[in-house]
Amino acid sequence: MAATSDSHDLPTLVLPPMEQLQVLLKHAMEGQVKALQQELDHLSQHNQRYQVFIGQLQPLVQGFKILQIRQFLQDLVRQSQESPTGLGKGDSL
């Protein structure tokens, strides 16, 4: 019998506010890996809600994968701007 996964067991992606996403994107566009890491460290220390978001972005930053970081952040900013619920203001995706 196959085990089924319950969506309640999955962590929810909670985005930082749009202003923070735009700061991260600015650093990515400028290739500032150290600044990206500092921002992620700051987010991690000040709000545990963003751990899934940080967990997705952290390996890209540590691997200096600037193009993937830019794409990831651009997609999130675009989704947040297009969403009628206003995602990107600390809400979950």
User: Do the Cβ atoms of 51 and 39 come closer than 8 Å?
Assistant: no
**Residue 22 falls inside a structural domain:** yes
Residue 44: predicted pLDDT: 93
Q: Tens of pLDDT along the chain (93 residues)? A: 444 545 566 788 899 999 999 999 999 999 999 999 999 999 999 889 999 999 999 999 999 999 999 999 999 999 988 875 555 445 444
The pTM of this model reads 0.77
What DSSP string runs through 48-89?
GGGHHHHHHHHHHHHTT-HHHHHHHHHHHHHHHHH-TT-TTS
Residue 8: predicted pLDDT: 60
**Residue 38 falls inside a structural domain:** yes
With b for 16 or more beta-carbon neighbours within 10 A and e for fewer, the 27-63 pattern comes to: bbeeeebebbeebbeebeeeeeebebbbeebbebbee
**Domain count of the chain?**
1
The Cα–Cα gap between 19 and 90 comes to 11
Owning domain of residue 22: 12-82
**Residue 18 falls inside a structural domain:** yes
**Residue 4 falls inside a structural domain:** no
Residue 13: predicted pLDDT: 87
